[in-house]
Structure 1
Amino acid sequence: MSNQQRILITGTAGFIGFHLAQLLLTEGFRVHGYDGMTDYYDVRLKQRRHAMLMQDGNFSMTEGMLEDAALFDRIADEFRPDVIVHLAAQAGVRYSLENPRAYIDANIVGTFNVMEAARRLEVKHLLMASTSSVYGANEDMPFTETEKVDTQLTIYAATKKATENMGHSYAHLWNLPTTMFRFFTVYGPWGRPDMAPYKFADAILGDRPVDIYNHGEMYRDFTYVDDLVRGIRLLIDAVPVRPASKDEIEEGDSLSPVAPYRVVNIGNSEKVRLLDFIDAFEQSIGRLAIRNYMEMQKGDVPATWADADLLKRLTGYRPETGFRDGVAQFVAWFRDYYGK
Structure 2
Amino acid sequence: MAGYRLTQYAHGGGCACKIPPGELESMVAGLAAAGPAPGAPGELLVGLGDGDDAAVVRLDAATGIVATTDFFTPVVDDAYDWGRIAATNALSDVYAMGGRPLVAVNLLGWPRDVLPTELATEVLRGGMDVARAAACHLAGGHSVDDPEPKYGLAVTGLVDPDRVIRNDAGRAGLPLSLTKPLGIGVLNARHKQTGEVFEPAVAAMTALNADAATAAVAAGVRCGTDVTGFGLLGHLRKLARASGVTAVVDSAAVPYLSGARDALRSGYVSGGTRRNLAWVEPDTDFGAVPEEERLLLADAQTSGGLLLAGEIPGAPVVGELVPRGEYAVVVR
For the criterion TM > 0.5, the same-fold answer is no
Normalising to structure 1: TM-score of the pair? 0.26
Structure number with the higher strand fraction is 2
Higher relative contact order by CA 8 Å / sep ≥ 6: 1 or 2?
A: 2
Q: TM-score normalized by structure 2?
A: 0.26
- Structure whose residues are more often helix by fraction: 1
